[in-house]
């Protein structure tokens, strides 16, 4: 890892069955990030209320979510656009994440 690499990343997902949900439940997500020295944290499982609120307002840095469009649309309508700038760069892959 480089000196500017992140040490932890947060994720969340809609409560409906999704590929990300299945990968998280089976431990694949955690295992994949751990190989690169990154701790994977669940936004919805956090005891911190501000972290949990990020599911709706997308204010938590280095986070991604998989699911429906309503929370990102709501966040953007309230003027919160920084969630579009959170980037995940791993193994040559770079993508904007909501």
Residue range 11-16: mean pLDDT, rounded: 81
Q: What is the full DSSP assignment across 63-81?
A: EEEES-SHHHHHHHHTT--
15 pLDDT more than 70: yes
Q: What is the mean pLDDT of the chain?
A: 76
Residue where the block lists tokens 């439940």: 25
User: What are the tokens at 50?
Assistant: 């501000």
Q: Which pTM was predicted?
A: 0.64
pLDDT on residue 28:
93
Q: How confident is the model at residue 41 (pLDDT cuts 50, 70, 90)?
A: very high
Reduced to 3 states (helix: H, G, I; strand: E, B; else coil), residue 75 is: helix
pLDDT: which is higher, 5 or 98:
5
Segments making up each domain of the chain, as ranges = 8-96
Distance CA 17, CA 31 (A): 20
pLDDT: which is higher, 7 or 67:
7
């Amino acid at each position: 890892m480089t000196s500017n690499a992140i040490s932890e990343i947060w994720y969340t997902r809609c409560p409906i069955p999704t590929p990300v949900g299945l990968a998280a439940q089976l431990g694949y997500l955690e295992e994949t990030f751990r190989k690169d020295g990154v701790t994977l944290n669940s936004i919805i499982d956090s005891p911190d209320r501000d972290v949990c609120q990020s599911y709706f307002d997308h204010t938590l840095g280095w986070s991604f979510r998989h699911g429906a469009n309503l929370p990102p649309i709501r966040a953007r309508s309230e003027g919160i656009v920084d969630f579009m700038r959170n980037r995940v760069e791993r193994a040559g892959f770079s993508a904007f994440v909501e």
